[in-house]
Structure 1
Amino acid sequence: MSDTRLTLPIWDELASLSDDALPLLPTALLIASDEYPELDPAAYDRMLQAHADHLRVEVEATGEWPLKIAAINHHLFNELGYSGNNDEYYDPRNSYLNEVFERRLGNPISLALVQMEVAHRLGLPLEGISFPGHFLVRLPVEDGVLIMDPFNGGRPLSVDELRERARSNLGGETPDDTVLAQILDPAPHRAILMRMLRNLHGVYVERGEWDRAARSADRILKLAPKQADAVRDRGLAYLELEHLAGARADFASYLKMEPEAADAGSVRDRLIELGGERPRLH
């Protein structure tokens, strides 16, 4: 049974946790709590448990894993109505898990998280795939892995379709078996959570909501402090917010971390304009 006393982790403690120890659902709700500080994590934990309990008898009576996941998908996507938000794909609510539960609308990664969590509570090792473009999920089966698209009702994807999807996001190059297998590796919890935050960062940059863009980049650094791109992105958001000291510090840190980056010259120019010293490279 799920712990109805579910509490949120502490941001400053997450970087020290291994990927295996990093809790996926509580940290996803922690991300949401930045925007919705009054959310009740235990309520959403109970909601997930109710989804799983509704399915338990049917799933336990079904022998094969593909049939078990088909029953889970039917309940989530057909009966409960979870679906991909095609009409407002870049609505930030699609990334906040409390909103996904309430509205039954989400993006690929948030819907995958709901699907994975219900499957895990029913004994199925459903894993996420940080696929280029849309996030996917995978389930081990006797003759390999079953790949599914949570944004489209958990629909299974063929190898040919996976190659085509990957090709369109890899500069037109079709991946061979080895590359495709690497792309289909399961994503660690930290990678999943960072992708959620990068999605939010991109949405807020596009909207010009620089305080939230800065927050999203900062939260990535709470999970993985050595992410140079997040340091740069936070600095750019600070610059838009006229938090010049923060921008200077982040630009200088970025150049020390990535002195040969393709955008190092432009970042260095910004730092000089802000009155920061040119960082010394060793």
Structure 2
Amino acid sequence: MPTQQLDYFASLVAEDEHLPLTEAAIAVAQHAYPDLDVQGVLDHIDQMAEKLKTRITPETSAIQRLQILKHYFYTELGFGPNPNDFYAPENSYLHQIIDNRRGIPISLAILMMELGNQIGLKIRGVSFPNHFMMRISLQQGEIIMDPLTGASLSKNELQEMLDPYLDAKGYRGELSLPLNIFLRASSPREILSRFLRNLKMIYSEHERWERLLGVQERLVILLPDSLEEIRDRGLIFAQLEYLRPALADMQRYLRESPEAEDATEIRDHIATLEGQTKLH
């Protein structure tokens, strides 16, 4: 694992106040593309923004700016979903998305938010269950927009999308949660953690452990207080037979959360690993 790239990522996400979401999201891909020129990708996005700025004057209203942005992003540049392979990891790497014009909601939203912010629009990300959204503040009120298409969604449409999630979680009847809880703006750290967890899920399902470790290292850096992410890194280390770091992570997990639901399971893992380290 190249420590230089991890140090760079750590420097980007060190503070909440100045966390550069776009740069950090591009930098995530360095685990899979070590030679990626992050600044070159940022420059490419800036060039797109410069084109947009030529179409705007100080008199252009926010709603007009939004229409100009949507036309440019979806119609001219042709950004949209990848219906053939929605779960391909490339849909989460911003440099690939810029080349292919195909992404998933959260990756397209990060690009849209960056371009929108550069032309004076207040666009924020919303970690809506199962489908990342964007929230745009206009004089007329707040708009919730689908990053895949640019469509604005009504409260009824959003509730219909939310209901299956509420059913699955048992949040119905007396426990029913209001829609607004799910529409609050997410912080850059929250957006990045969801972004990384998408990749984590993809690489876990395909058991691509080296790639998964690159993602997991960044999750531990991003969420240093999350013991679950430290445990998961330990489990990945174990799959790769990096026995000592695997033991260190799992022992820390148990030390700091001895009552965890999976404590017995992790103790068993540790016993197995300790047996293996004696053999080495």
- TM-based fold match above 0.5: yes
Determine if the alignment matches structure 1 residue 214 to structure 2 residue 224: no
Q: Of residues 64, 69, 78 in structure 1, which corresponds to 2:66? A: 69
Give % identity.
Answer: 35
1:101 aligns with 2:94: no
Moved more, 109-118 or 47-56: 47-56
In 1, distance between residues paired with 2:190 and 2:247?
Answer: 28
Contact 2:133/2:147 (<8 A) preserved? yes
Identify the match of residue 131 of structure 1 among 118, 123, 128: 128
Equivalent position to 2:24, from 6, 23, 27 = 27
- Is 1:52 equivalent to 2:49 in the alignment? yes
Q: Give the total of aligned pairs.
A: 267
Do structure 1's residue 116 and structure 2's residue 121 form an aligned pair? no
Matched with 1:200 is 199
Equivalent residue number for residue 163 of structure 1: 159
Q: In the alignment, which residue of structure 1 is the partner of 2:150? A: 154
Over 3 Å counting, the alpha-carbon distance change for 1:145 and 1:174 in structure 2 is farther
**Is 2:12–2:20's contact at 8 Å kept on the other side of the alignment?**
no
User: 1:245 aligns to what?
Assistant: 244
Residue in structure 1 matching 2:9, options 6, 11, 18 = 11
The answer to whether the aligner puts 1:83 opposite 2:76 as a matched pair is no
**Other structure's SS at 1:39 match:** coil
Distance 2:216 2:7 in 1: 18
Equivalent residue for 1:280?
none
SS at match of 1:275: helix
Matches of 1:68 and 1:182, distance apart in 2: 28
Once the two structures are superposed, residues 158-197 of structure 1 have per-residue CA deviations (whole angstroms, 9 ceiling, x without a partner) of: 1112122222223344699974222211111111111111
Which consecutive residues of structure 1, in runs of 5 or more, have no partner in the other structure? 1-7, 277-282
1:52 positional shift: 2.0
The Cα shift of 1:203 comes to 0.8
Cα pair 2:97 2:103 within 8 Å, conserved: yes
Name the Cα RMSD after superposition. Answer: 2.4
Quick one: structure 1 residues 196 and 62, their matched pair in 2 at CA, closer, same or farther if it must change by over 3 Å?
same
Instruction: Give, in whole Å, the separation in 2 of the partners of 1:211 and 1:179.
Output: 41
Deviation per CA, 1:208-253: give whole Å up to 9, x if none.
1101112211111112211122112111111211122222111112
Taking structure 2 as the reference length, the TM-score comes to 0.87
User: Which amino acid in 2 is paired with 1:201?
Assistant: K
The amino acid that maps onto 1:183 is F
TM-score (norm 1): 0.86
Q: For 1:247, give the aligned amino acid.
A: A
CA distance in 1, matches of 2:222, 2:206: 24
Cα offset, 1:36, TM superposition: 1.6
What is the DSSP-based 3-state SS (H/G/I as helix, E as strand, rest coil) of the residue aligned with 2:29? helix
Q: Partners in 2 of 1:134 and 1:101 — Cα distance?
A: 20
Q: Is the 8 A contact 2:49 2:115 kept in 1?
A: yes
Q: Quote the residue 1:229 is aligned against.
A: 228
Deviation, structure 1 residue 13: 2.8
> Where does structure 2 lack aligned partners over 5 or more consecutive residues?
1-5, 276-280
For residue 156 of structure 1, give the secondary structure of its aligned residue in structure 2. coil
Are the aligned partners of 1:108 and 1:135 in contact in 2 as well (CA < 8 Å)?
yes
The one-letter amino acid of 1:11's match is F
| 2:197 partner letter | R
* Distance change in 2, residues 1:171/1:231 (3 Å): farther
Cα–Cα, structure 1 residues 50 and 12, in superposed 2: closer, same or farther, change >3 Å? closer
Matched residues in 1 for 2:56 and 2:161: separation? Answer: 31
How big is the shift at 1:9? 7.6
Contact 2:31 2:211 in 1 (8 A): no
